[in-house]
Copies of this chain bind each other. A is one copy, B any other.
Amino acid sequence: MKRVTGIGMVVIAGALVLTAGCMGTKVQYGDATSAEPLSTDFGSSDLQQIAATMVDSLLADPGVRAASTARKPVLLVDKVKNKTLQHIDTESLTDSIRTKLIQSGKFSFIDRTTDQSALDEFNAQKESGLVDPAKAVPMGTQSGAEYILTANLAQIEQQVGSKTDVYYKFTMNLKNLRTGILDWANEKEIRKVATRSWLGR
């Protein structure tokens, strides 16, 4: 009886060694553009889908195109109104949209979130005494926005039994500051369904 216990302990010790040696975390680079959702939370693929839809629609819109043939209109991206219950980095979403629109070469963008850095540099050029006034960049020559891109992100979540159904809707508008008219609008809907099951997958 006692002998068996001794062997049993050795076996347990061996099992522990095995576990410690074999357990591990494998880390890999994945496809950054992958569309395999892990949860119903707002994820990277949702961000990419929304950005792609908005950019494609804005680039292909005849009205917007007419305004951007003579010269590039100057746009400003407003904060997205996040009406979901999640903490979503909506700036990252509008960053993606803005980047793609700038890369298309059809729009000019200004960015008010980095105005403080610009002002700091203007001050350094004028007041530090280091910069040659002749080489300094003149202040007060920047462009102002003619259009504002505004957006809303809404969410409807329903949970019944083992099924969670989350619906996201992103609405974007292009507001003409001169006329106040919304010159363009589009929305992208996404549905994610999670089904809890007892067999792993």
Contacts and interface: CB of A to CB of B under 8 A. Distances in A.
Given A5-B6, A11-B10, A195 B145 contact: no
Interface string A121-137: 11011001111110111
Contacts of A132: 140-144
A8 B197 CA distance: 25
A167 to B, nearest CB: 4
Contacts of A194: 25-28
Number of copies: 2
A165 to B, nearest CB: 5
By size class, the interface of chain A is 35 or more
Interface string A166-201: 010101010101111110111101111111111111
A166 to B, nearest CB: 9
Interface in A6-40: 6-13, 15, 17, 19, 21-35, 37-40
Given A5-B6, A111-B173, A132-B140, A96 B187 contact: yes
A154 to B, nearest CB: 4
A117 B41 contact: no
A20 to B, nearest CB: 10
B163 A38 contact: yes
A95 interface: yes
Given A1-B2, A112-B124, A171-B99, A39 B182 contact: no
